[in-house]
Amino acid sequence: MVSAMVNHTKSNTENHIEKKLISRLIIVDDDIQICDLLTAYTCDEFQTITFQNAYDFLNTTFVDNDIILLDLKMPDIDGVEVIRKLAKLNKNCPLLLMSGYDEGVLHSALQLAKEYGLNVICDITKPIDFTKLMGMLFELKTKHSNQIAVDSTSLGKIDLTSLELLTQDHIPSPETYIPNVAELASAISEHQLVLFYQPQLSFKNNHLIGVEALVRWQHPIYGLLFPDQFIPLAENSGLIEQLTKEVIRLSIAQSKLWKSAGRSIKISINISAKNITSLVLPEQLTHLVCESEIDPSMIMLEITETELMRELTTSLDILTRLRLKGFQLSIDDFGTGYSSLSQLHRAPFTELKIDQSFTMTMLNNVESKAIVETCIMLGHNLNMEVIAEGVENQEIWDLLKTMGCDNAQGYFIAKPLPIEQFSEWLNQFNHSA
């Protein structure tokens, strides 16, 4: 009799747990109208709890059977930071990500959540398709499952044969001066670094779409030093992060001057591996552009393929947050590294930059030409604009245009110019347009 009562009680308890297995829907969105609307749609099926502040959400108590619906664009801390903090809590809550941002950013955030080991279910774009959303929530509840697998197609690896990197931007210095670490550190702190600007044009309308900022060292004794004379030293000595910060500072200062003059010119800046693994970079950059009243979309951050691969999860975290904050991202020197297509698809790049070693040799090299064509097709299929560097002559320009490349950069347009010469070039370019 006692045994029967125990079994009966156990059965009732299991039924109760089964009914309440996924009982709470936690909505994290700063838009109170969205929260109210979601609550109205889901209140019959779930106990709905809403948070307009991500900190309040992270300070609450939740269990693995709660479903979390997280908006990526929050005013206090963004959704990517919330994802990172959730991973540290080691919770297995089903997680649904939503955003009104572009689908590439949303997709990258979903991939990042997976990399962190979270039980991410799907992504939802705004405006919300409530029929689709309720279908997913109902499926979660009726199947009593803590995870619905999101299939990720294995795209395989792109193995692009590395060719010798031709340094278009290198002009040998007549000096034999070899700097040391202390001198370079002093040059950075004393603001001896200067920027040269190389124009980038659109094949479609021949308009200026931006410039790449290229660093030089204006040495007080030895004159102008080129990157090959000090960048390797910066990388090997640990000064590359400080050097990149100085380049960013100079670029944003110049962007502010152009804005004051009524000119809207996008600046591309090369970012080192040290920078893309620094979790504070998005906030630092956001502070700088806000302080200078610059639209972050006017800043294109270039990351080389090899640097991206060094710490993929951390890089993906930072790159996704940079896109959320409005910055543009370019994968630089594409084809010289060893990333796979699936890894490239995870990162929210807006531009693919074809390495000049392929562009400059494609007129006489069948393999280089095939690689350029593949890069253009790949970039467009992944919703990226494609820019080719190393455009040295009219023949290369014409072939790239025929291939459907979007933008070009190279000596055929202009070499990297100091700001005074670039201003003169720009005036002449605008006058002849």
Q: Name, of 86-90, 175-179, 378-382, the range with top average pLDDT.
A: 378-382
What pLDDT is attached to residue 169?
44
- Predicted confidence (pLDDT) at residue 147 exceeds the cutoff of 70: no
What element of type H or E holds 235? helix 231-237
| Sequence ranges of the domains in the chain | 19-143, 181-432
Residue 248: pLDDT above 80?
A: yes
- Is the per-residue pLDDT at 165 higher than 90? no
- Mean pLDDT over 45-61 rounds to 89
At 147, list the tokens: 């995870």
Note whether 328 and 350 are within 8 A (CB): yes
Residue from 341, 378, 382, 375 nearest 358 by CA: 375
CA angle (399, 405, 408) in 5-degree steps: 85
- Cα–Cα dist 163/359, whole Å: 11
Q: Is the pLDDT confidence value at 216 over 80?
A: yes
Query: What's the one-letter identity of residue 338?
Result: Y
CATH classification (class only), 181-432: alpha beta
Residue 342's pLDDT is: 66
**Stronger pLDDT, 366 or 162, i.e. the higher one:** 366
pLDDT of residue 217 exceeding 80: yes
Segment (H or E) for 111: helix 103-115
The pLDDT score that the predictor gives to residue 423 is 95
Give per-residue burial for 141-167: e unless 16+ CB within 10 Å, then b.
beeeebeeeeeeeeeeebebeebeebe
Q: Is 146 a residue whose pLDDT tops 80?
A: no
pLDDT at 174 over 60: no
Write down the pLDDT at residue 100: 82
Report in angstroms the alpha-carbon separations of 178 from 31, 190, 242, 244.
57, 19, 20, 20
**Residue 11: pLDDT band with limits 50, 70, 90:** very low
Q: How confident is the model at residue 143 (pLDDT cuts 50, 70, 90)?
A: low
Residue 134: CB partners within 8 Å, gap ≥ 6? 41, 42, 45
pLDDT confidence of 304, banded at 50, 70, 90? confident
pLDDT tens string 333-347:
776 655 556 667 778
Tokens 């045994």 sit on residue: 3
Q: What is the mean pLDDT of residues 47-61?
A: 90
- Range name among 9-23, 204-218, 318-332 with the lowest pLDDT average: 9-23
Contacts of 390 (CB under 8 A, 6+ apart): 166, 168, 355, 356, 357, 358, 359, 360, 396, 409, 410
Q: What is the mean pLDDT of residues 353-382?
A: 94
pLDDT at residue 432 above 90?
no
The whole-model pTM stands at: 0.73
Q: What is the pLDDT of residue 338?
A: 57
**Type of residue at 334:** F
With pLDDT > 70 as the criterion, what percentage of the chain qualifies? 83
Q: What is the average per-residue pLDDT within 223-233?
A: 91
Third-level CATH fold of 19-143: Rossmann fold (3.40.50)
* Amino acid in position 306: T
